[in-house]
Amino acid sequence: MLQFDADRDAMLARAHGAAIETVVAIGSGTGPGSLDCAIRLAKRERAGEPRIYATVGIHPHEAKLATDADFDELSTLARNPKVIAWGEIGLDYFYDHSPREVQRAVFLKQLELARPARLPVVIHCRPSQDSQNAWDECVGILAEQWAASGLGGVLHCFTGMMEHARQALDLGFMISFAGNVTFPRAQNIRDAARELPLDRILIETDSPFLAPVPHRGKRNEPAFVKEVARQIGELRGMAAEEVAFQTSQNFYRFFSLPPASNAGMPIPSPSRGAEG
Ligand SMILES: [Zn+2]
């Protein structure tokens, strides 16, 4: 059983109805024991639903649970053709669910494994309250340990400062904005969403978290990524459809994927494939 099985068909139908062509299911799940959860979702290929791609990786929350056997399993799963990135990996100093030195070690270990797998990385980074410590550290680690791979990645759910975004762009990363760009207090996020080069940004939902205004507080789902496009459009003086089209093109280009054939107004929507 995967979490949210009960209404998955309806959720994907709503995504399709919202012109979402492609979904990335994030494969962190509940940690070791469910590392293939996104691949299982990506196996479904049904008419009237978005295409689903997958990632694999151990999230910083579960870093303390990771064993050598899990790392071996990740390397095997990474060879699945539906897997397009390694992640979410990184640092979370807000919740500190795993000790920080363990988070760092598991992050570094997965960078080491993603390199021979030739996969870009999806970075999860959340600093402790009123700080940017995790962003400083994440970007530093990527500069030292990852940039030379030439594989780049995505800073998912960006909440850092402009300098972090600019450093990451220099390292070959895309910057991805989630539902929290619509939250009134998120000024630094909106500054970044307004000023970064349009060809280097992505939009996502971070489902089931961070449902954008006007759905705030509900379970998030891929169809809601339209609100992220709308907000970024407002910030940049562009139509939401234009933001959707551009960020979709960015996604297909970065991941070397063919645009979906029935291209109306594609919106890729990374969402989390969690297991319950
Ligand atoms: Zn995340």
CA distance 232 to 267: 13
User: Is pLDDT at 272 greater than 90 in this prediction?
Assistant: no
Residue 23 tokens, joined: 């979904």
Residue among 105, 101, 96 at smallest CA distance from 67: 105
User: Is pLDDT at 223 greater than 90 in this prediction?
Assistant: yes
Q: Could you count the other beta carbons within 10 Å of the beta carbon of residue 89?
A: 30
Which residues fall inside 5 Å of ion ligand 1, going by CB? 88, 124
Q: According to the model, what pLDDT value does residue 266 have?
A: 47
How far does residue 149's CA lie from ligand 1's centre (Å)?
22
What pLDDT digit, counting tens, does each position of 8-65 carry?
999 999 999 999 999 999 998 777 888 999 999 999 989 999 999 999 999 999 999 9
How far does residue 60's CA lie from ligand 1's centre (Å)?
9
DSSP secondary structure, 225-265, as one string: HHHHHHHHHHHHT--HHHHHHHHHHHHHHHTT-PPPTT-SS
Q: According to the model, what pLDDT value does residue 274 have?
A: 37
Residue among 262, 275, 272, 182 at smallest CA distance from 16: 262
Confidence of residue 2 (pLDDT cuts 50, 70, 90): confident
Q: According to the model, what pLDDT value does residue 261 have?
A: 63
The pLDDT > 90 percentage for the chain reads: 86
How far does residue 271's CA lie from ligand 1's centre (Å)?
10
Burial (Cβ within 10 Å: 0-12, 13-18, ≥19) of residue 96: middle
DSSP secondary structure, 19-32, as one string: T--EEEEETTTTST
Q: According to the model, what pLDDT value does residue 38 have?
A: 95
How far does residue 89's CA lie from ligand 1's centre (Å)?
8
What pLDDT digit, counting tens, does each position of 93-140 carry?
999 999 999 999 999 999 999 999 999 999 999 999 989 999 999 999
How far does residue 158's CA lie from ligand 1's centre (Å)?
9
Confidence of residue 275 (pLDDT cuts 50, 70, 90): very low
How far does residue 234's CA lie from ligand 1's centre (Å)?
25
How far does residue 71's CA lie from ligand 1's centre (Å)?
20
User: Is pLDDT at 273 greater than 50 in this prediction?
Assistant: no
Q: Could you count the other beta carbons within 10 Å of the beta carbon of residue 263?
A: 14
For the chain, domains (ranges, CATH) are 5-267 (3.20.20.140)
CA distance 152 to 140: 14
Q: Which amino acid type is present at position 138?
A: C
Reported pTM: 0.93
How far does residue 18's CA lie from ligand 1's centre (Å)?
23
**Angle at CA of residue 147, ends 108 and 81, nearest 5°:** 75
Strand, coil or helix: what is 117?
helix
How far does residue 237's CA lie from ligand 1's centre (Å)?
28
How far does residue 156's CA lie from ligand 1's centre (Å)?
6
From residue 159, how far is each of 38, 52, 100, 181 by CA, in Å?
25, 26, 19, 9
Confirm if 251 and 268 have CB atoms less than 8 A apart. Answer: yes
How far does residue 122's CA lie from ligand 1's centre (Å)?
9
Q: Which amino acid type is present at position 246?
A: Q
How far does residue 61's CA lie from ligand 1's centre (Å)?
10
User: Is pLDDT at 265 greater than 70 in this prediction?
Assistant: no
Residue 210 tokens, joined: 């961070």
Sheet holding 201-203, edge to edge: 201-203, 173-177, 153-155, 121-126, 83-92, 51-56, 22-26, 269-272
Q: According to the model, what pLDDT value does residue 270 have?
A: 56
Q: Which amino acid type is present at position 227?
A: E
Q: If you ran DSSP here, which 8-state letter would residue 1 be given? A: -
Confirm if 211 and 272 have CB atoms less than 8 A apart. Answer: no
How far does residue 123's CA lie from ligand 1's centre (Å)?
7
Q: According to the model, what pLDDT value does residue 87 have?
A: 97
What pLDDT digit, counting tens, does each position of 151-176 carry?
999 999 999 999 999 999 999 999 99
